[in-house]
């Protein structure tokens, strides 16, 4: 009898230990999971965007350039520009109809326009509302503009979004007519090159392709975009 009572006490003790262990394990999973989840959220909020280098991959410039329509001088200029140091492009301009995919850099110096297209100083910054002016050589990257038409679309891809524009007008102006770059406080894109396309010497006119924004696909939200731009700026300063 006493042996049976002793066995029951041992069994009760074992069950008590097992119960305590199971309760502890469940509590650990519950509170540990909550702590981990909270930590993951905090880490996400603290670092809302991937590393700058990863996002920059979104702006990978084409590995090959179709220069079949280019002048000999422009081909040589492009080859020479490859030996020079450039910052990352601001964006990639793509016009599927003419198989154009060109990096857009800041400024319109000769070396910039030999390497790609350039944002015209004084026009809207890429990624902001306004009239973005982009220039290119008529005997280089922008020679294919001779084949675009009203209604065609083009894309401007940045690390934070891809914007789609629809061509609304194509016209010729004098080199002194800067009204085509006027800002109307709406999202517009104006491409500028010299005309005629095969003119020898200093071209007398400017060929203007004007487009309006029709859609945008976000890659980063606005806070992440600001954070990315700030990180990019700090990285650039360190490398200078």
- Where residue 45 falls (left for φ over 0; alpha for ψ -120 to 50; beta otherwise) is alpha
76/123 same-domain check? yes
pLDDT at residue number 211: 98
Mean per-residue pLDDT of the chain: 79
pTM value is 0.70
More confident residue, 226 or 39: 226
pLDDT at residue number 233: 52
Catalytic residues: 137, 194
Whether the Cβ atoms of residue 166 and residue 211 lie closer than 8 Å to each other: yes
135/21 same-domain check? no
For residue 31, pLDDT over 50 is answered with: no
Q: How many domains does the chain have?
A: 2
Partners of 237 in beta bridges:
none
Single out the residue of 117, 105, 63, 112 nearest to residue 84, CA to CA: 112
For the stretch 158-203, pLDDT in tens is 988 899 999 999 999 999 999 999 998 899 999 999 999 999 888 9
C-alpha distances out from residue 74 to 71, 77, 165, Å: 5, 5, 27
Q: Label residue 141 by pLDDT band (50, 70, 90).
A: very high
Of 46, 66, 81, the last residue of a domain is 46
Identify the DSSP state of 60.
P
8/89 same-domain check? no
For the stretch 69-112, pLDDT in tens is 999 999 999 999 988 888 889 999 999 999 999 999 999 999 99
Please compute the mean of the pLDDT values over residues 37-60 and round it to a whole number.
45
> Among the listed ranges 20-34, 138-152, 189-203, which one has the minimum average pLDDT value?
20-34
12/109 same-domain check? no
pLDDT at residue number 24: 55
3-state DSSP call for residue 81? Answer: helix
In whole angstroms, what is the distance from residue 14 CA to residue 8 CA?
10
116/38 same-domain check? no
CATH of the domain at 222: 2.40.260.10
133/75 same-domain check? yes
Number of H helices, E strands in the chain: 5, 8
40/60 same-domain check? no
More confident residue, 179 or 221: 179
User: Which residue range(s) make up the domain with 32?
Assistant: 1-46
72/111 same-domain check? yes
92/165 same-domain check? yes
pLDDT at residue number 165: 98
Helix (H) or strand (E) holding 27: helix 2-46
In whole angstroms, what is the distance from residue 102 CA to residue 99 CA?
10
22/119 same-domain check? no
103/138 same-domain check? yes
117/207 same-domain check? yes
């Amino acid at each position: 009898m006493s042996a049976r009572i002793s066995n029951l006490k041992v069994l009760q003790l074992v069950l008590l230990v097992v119960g305590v262990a199971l309760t502890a394990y469940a509590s650990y999973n519950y509170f540990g999971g909550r702590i981990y989840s909270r930590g993951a959220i905090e880490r996400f909020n603290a670092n809302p965007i991937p590393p700058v280098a990863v996002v920059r991959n979104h702006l990978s410039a084409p590995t090959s350039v179709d220069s079949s329509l280019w002048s000999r001088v422009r081909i040589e200029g492009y080859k020479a520009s490859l030996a020079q140091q450039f910052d990352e492009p601001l964006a990639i301009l793509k016009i599927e109809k003419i198989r154009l995919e060109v990096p857009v850099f800041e400024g319109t110096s000769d070396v910039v326009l030999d390497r790609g297209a350039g944002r015209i100083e004084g026009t809207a910054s890429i990624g902001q509302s306004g009239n973005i002016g982009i220039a290119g050589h008529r005997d280089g990257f922008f020679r294919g503009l001779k084949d675009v038409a009203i209604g065609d679309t083009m894309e401007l891809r940045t690390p934070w979004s891809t914007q789609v524009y629809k061509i609304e007008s194509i016209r010729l102006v004098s080199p002194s007519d800067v009204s085509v770059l006027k800002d109307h406080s709406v999202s517009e894109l104006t491409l500028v090159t010299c005309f005629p396309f095969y003119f020898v010497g200093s071209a007398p006119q400017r060929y203007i392709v004007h487009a309006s924004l029709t859609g945008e696909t976000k890659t980063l939200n606005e806070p992440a975009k600001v954070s990315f731009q700030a990180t990019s700026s700090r990285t650039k300063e360190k490398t200078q």
